[in-house]
Amino acid sequence: MKNVVKAVVKTLGITTAVLFVVYFWNLDQKLMGWAYKQVNTMFDRKPVDIKF
């Protein structure tokens, strides 16, 4: 029982630390900004079939 409690506390501590680092340095938005730029460059290279 003691080992299970230790494992749960350790897992929760590590999870909290990782989530804090992601929140503190805003890593999720930086990742999404990078992905957005990559998608835009892919779609900007496609030929446009509708001209206004």
> Residue 17 and residue 35: Cα distance in Å, rounded?
25
In degrees, to the nearest 5, what angle opens at C-alpha 27 toward C-alphas 21 and 30? Answer: 165
Residues 1-52: tens digit of each pLDDT:
999 999 999 999 999 999 999 999 999 999 999 999 999 999 888 787 877 7
Global pTM? Answer: 0.65
Q: What is the DSSP letter of 26?
A: T
Give pLDDT, residue 26.
97
**Contacts of 32 by beta carbon, 8 Å cutoff, 6+ apart:** none
Residue 12: strand, helix, or coil: helix
Predicted local distance difference test score (pLDDT) of residue 36 = 96
pLDDT at 11: 98
| 19 within 8 A of 26, measured Cβ to Cβ | no
pLDDT at 20: 97
pLDDT at 50: 78
